[in-house]
């Protein structure tokens, strides 16, 4: 387990992050949400010992994190940090050697991840000639090659098309099955909802929320009912909604009374013409906007 308590870092008088705390067990993923300048990157740099903290403690398995060697953590930065004139193999080999891995072990793990990420044919390709999406995959391999216990992912799915997003999702689930602790920052809130057991929301260096997705969703009393267009026309006058949105196929109603909504859903479900219906609580993005959390 990783246990971080009251991490504070100032840049002279400018607050980077204040009193930041988290706990995570093996196999868990914590989502850290916030816009640029909220404190996410400052915390990651303190965790990675790239910045000295002003106050606070960081422990892994009951021991100070600083007592472990540099293989305990794996870091995927938001920015590209690759030598574009090297081949994929040479780039990964360089970083593996810095982690004191044998060339045999480097190649073994590299081949594993090339296969998982479906870029086997790029092993000896020059990185600068790869697409941005494939460069992102190489950078992910670099962060995992030494088999870290704690994986820090800063915008891991940024700039990827839908096919590569799905490949990366499978990898993240695989990391969870391998009992890695994952700390993930993302502006794509739907991905945070998919992967993360717990969520931390930062604003101007301060923690606005810390808890489970269910606890976050319980802050809002709003629910969203989505129906086929044809069904929504039939039941429109029965729905007590505060807002409504349409697309080509469906209509979504914002509702404020869950029990009333549930009864309506049961009634609609008895309609044989219904092909699609959903009743969902507010998403992370909707709650963040509703309560001005970032």
* Residue 90 backbone phi and psi in degrees, to 5: -65, -40
* Domain that residue 262 falls in: 223-291
Number of domains in the chain: 2
User: Last residue of some domain: 167, 193, 213?
Assistant: 213
Under the banding of pLDDT at 50, 70 and 90, the label for residue 197 is: confident
Q: How far apart are CA 284 and CA 186, in angstroms?
A: 12
pLDDT digits (tens, 9 = 90+) for 66-98: 999 989 999 999 888 899 999 999 999 999 999
User: Last residue of some domain: 185, 213, 241?
Assistant: 213
pLDDT of 35 higher than 80: yes
Q: Is residue 60 part of a domain?
A: yes
pLDDT digits (tens, 9 = 90+) for 94-133: 999 999 999 999 999 999 999 999 999 999 999 999 999 9
Mean of all residue pLDDT scores within the chain: 92
Percent of the chain with pLDDT over 70: 99
Are 261 and 129 part of one and the same domain? Answer: no
> Higher model confidence: residue 55 or residue 258?
55
- Distances 233 to 183, 244, 252, 267 between C-alpha atoms, Å: 44, 13, 12, 15
User: Last residue of some domain: 213, 241, 269?
Assistant: 213
Average pLDDT over residues 50-73: 94
The H or E element spanning position 17 is: strand 14-24
Are 228 and 184 part of one and the same domain? Answer: no
pLDDT of residue 103: 96
Question: Is 92 in contact with 113 (CB distance < 8 Å)?
Answer: no
Q: Strands, E, within 97-205: which ranges?
A: 150-154, 181-185, 198-203
Question: Is 13 in contact with 28 (CB distance < 8 Å)?
Answer: no
3-state DSSP of 212-268: EHHHHHCCCCCEEEEEEHHHHHHHHHHCCEEEEEECCCEEEEEECCHHHHHHHHHHH
pLDDT of 187 higher than 90: no
The CATH number of whichever domain residue 235 belongs to comes to 3.30.70
pLDDT of 23 higher than 90: yes
pLDDT of residue 254: 92
Average pLDDT over residues 220-247: 87
pLDDT of 142 higher than 80: yes
pLDDT of 273 higher than 70: no
Are 17 and 143 part of one and the same domain? Answer: yes
Are 116 and 249 part of one and the same domain? Answer: no
Q: Is residue 218 part of a domain?
A: no
């Amino acid at each position: 387990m990783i246990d971080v308590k009251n991490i504070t870092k100032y840049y002279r008088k400018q607050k980077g992050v204040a009193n930041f705390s988290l706990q995570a067990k093996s196999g868990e993923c914590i989502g850290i949400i916030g816009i640029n300048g909220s404190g996410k990157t400052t915390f990651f740099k303190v965790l990675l010992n790239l910045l000295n903290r002003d106050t606070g403690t960081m422990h892994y398995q009951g021991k100070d994190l600083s007592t472990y060697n540099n293989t305990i953590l794996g870091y995927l930065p938001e920015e590209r940090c690759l030598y574009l004139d090297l081949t994929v193999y040479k780039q990964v080999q360089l970083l593996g050697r810095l982690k004191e891995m044998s060339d045999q072990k480097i190649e073994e793990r590299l081949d594993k991840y090339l296969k998982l990420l479906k870029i086997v044919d790029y092993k000896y390709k020059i990185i600068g000639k790869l697409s941005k999406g494939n460069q992102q995959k190489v950078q992910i391999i670099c962060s995992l090659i030494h088999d870290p216990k704690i994986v820090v992912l800063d915008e891991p799915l940024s700039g990827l098309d839908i096919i590569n997003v799905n490949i990366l999702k499978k990898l993240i689930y695989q990391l969870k099955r391998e009992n890695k602790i994952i700390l993930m920052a993302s502006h794509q809130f739907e991905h945070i909802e998919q992967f993360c057991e717990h969520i931390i929301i930062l604003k101007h260096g301060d923690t606005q929320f810390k808890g489970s997705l269910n606890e976050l969703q319980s802050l809002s009393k709003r629910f969203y009912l989505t129906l086929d267009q044809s069904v929504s026309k039939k039941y429109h006058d029965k729905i007590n909604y505060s807002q409504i949105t349409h697309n080509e196929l469906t209509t979504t109603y914002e509702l404020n009374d869950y029990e009333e909504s549930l009864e309506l859903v049961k009634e609609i479900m008895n309609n044989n013409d219904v092909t699609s219906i959903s009743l969902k609580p507010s998403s992370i993005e909707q709650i963040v906007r509703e309560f001005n959390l970032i």
